Each structure stands twice: as C-alpha cells, then as structure tokens.
A and B are shown apart, each in its own frame.
Chain A
Amino acid sequence: MSVTAGPEPETVEPEPDMPAPAPTGLIVLDTEDAPVCADGNCW
C-alpha cells in the first residue's frame, strides 16, 4: 500500500487562540512542550 500526501487541507479561518498554519497547511495545535523523541533523543 503506497502512502502519499493527500490534497492540501483547505484554509481555515483562524480562531483567536489558533496558531498560524505551517507551510504545509497543517495547523499544529498546542505546541507547548510535550515529550517527544527528536534526533534520536528521548531523554
């Protein structure tokens, strides 16, 4: 099964507390610090 990016998400009228969309059109919510593994570092 091949996975490809779908169509660009349509533009959403931003709410007052809504962060600006990333260049991909994706709106990343709650970007405050949450634990992630990045660059091979989870600790």
Chain B
Amino acid sequence: MLIEVWSDVVCPWCYIGKRRLEKALAEFPHAAEVEVVWRSFQLDPSYPKGERTSTYEYLAKKFGGSPQQAKGMTGQVKAVAAGEGLAFDFDRARVVNTYDAHRVTHLAKAHGLGPQAHERFLHAHFVEGATLNDSDTLAGLAAEVGVPEAEVRKVLAGDQYSDEVDADIRDARTLGASGVPFFVLDRAFGVSGAQPVETFLSALQRAHDHAAASAR
C-alpha cells in the first residue's frame, strides 16, 4: 500500500498528523506492506524567500492584534502537540518560505532518505527553532540524516528539484486537497487533516480490504 502525504515543514498539524499516522501504523497488522511518501506543499508560497519572521509577528500581521495576542493563538496547537509527545516551541520558531527545504527533501528522496529528511526538518523548525531557509542550516540538517552536504549546497545554489516540488503542489490541487496534511492511500482514498489514530487505522484497513478485493 502506498500512502502519500502532502505536508509542509512549517505546518503544525502536519507534524501532529504524522505522529498519529505513525501510531496507527504501529498498530496496523499489515504495516510491513505500507510505504509512506512525503509530498511537498507550501502553506504560504507568497512569503518572500530569504526573509524570516517570528511566528507571533507573522500571525499578528496576518490576523491583526499584537504578537502577545498571537502567542495565545498558538496555545491550543502547542497543547495538542504535547499530547503527541512533541515539544513545540513557538517562541523560537521562525516562519520562512519553505520552497528550498522542499527541494532538499526531494534530493534526500533521491537518496532514499525522504522520510528522514522530512522528520528532521519538522523537528528542527517546531522544536529547535531552526531557520529552514538558511543554506548552512539545511545542509547541516540534511547531512545529519545522510544526504551528502556538498550535494545539498549544489542543489541550493541552483534550481534543481523545482519541477518535483511544483509537481507535488500541482498534484495536491488535482486531488482536491483544500488543506494539509492530506493523506492519500493507493490513490483511492483520501484522509484530510490530523485525524485521530482510530480514523487512520480505519482508513488503513479500508484501503487494505479494497486492495485485497481488487486483487481477487
């Protein structure tokens, strides 16, 4: 079974949904037959490349109010993340354009390290306050999971893997994803949002049954 997940590395519900899917897979009896592929999506493609803003300032500008009021908006997400074992630190998280991070994730994917890179970038942004539009940061994080640093720097110096990122975003639109995370099982079933573990389990079972019935 192929599970494709459209996700952005600065999307809090994508990280929470990832943990919930992982928990569901840990309980799913046919998990060994499942491959999870992470697809690129940008929450805010219009955010200027090279700039970085604190999460609170970004939210205050987007929705109005003060950074302090914006901090209050993040409280619920932080609490839900904590329930999944994720220590989100919005005091340190910096909003950036994530296009280059996605290009590096595709390079990692070419090395068979896509899931590791996606997890590393999510953790770096939400827990460690890393700025994911910085070449040194991206090269260092990718190298940590085994992607050759020189290749990362070469990719970041050019436009390699742009077509792959663009194709992922186009596919999300074609499949009708109105938000992320968006999970697609065997291109037959879709699950939108950071659903509870039980919902993921139910979807996994349904997709498995469907594949078994189709094979008969």
Contact = CB atoms under 8 A, between A and B. Distances in A.
Interface in A1-43: 1-7, 9-10, 12, 22-31, 33-43
Contacts of B22: none
B190 A27 contact: yes
Interface residues of B, number: 51
B203 to A, nearest CB: 5
A35 B187 contact: no
B57 interface: no
B59 A27 contact: no
Given A1-B164, A23-B176, A26-B187, A36 B43 contact: no
Given A37-B8, A42-B43, A29 B189 contact: yes
A17 to B, nearest CB: 10
B14 interface: yes
A40 B53 CA distance: 15
B28 to A, nearest CB: 15
Contacts, number: 112
A27 B192 CA distance: 11
A38 B178 contact: yes
B11 A34 contact: no
Contacts of A42: 11-13, 43, 77
Contacts of B76: 43
A36 B181 contact: yes
A3 B164 contact: yes
B175 interface: yes
Interface in B147-172: 163-164, 167-168, 171
A35 to B, nearest CB: 5
Interface stretch (B116-124, B131-139, B193-201): B193-201
Nearest to B13: A35
Nearest to A31: B192
Nearest to B39: A3
Contacts of B29: none
Interface of B: 8, 11-14, 16, 39, 43-44, 59, 62-63, 73-74, 76-77, 80, 106, 109-110, 163-164, 167-168, 171, 174-176, 178-182, 184, 186-196, 199, 202-203, 206, 210, 214
Closest 3 CB pairs of A and B: A34-B193, A38-B179, A36-B179
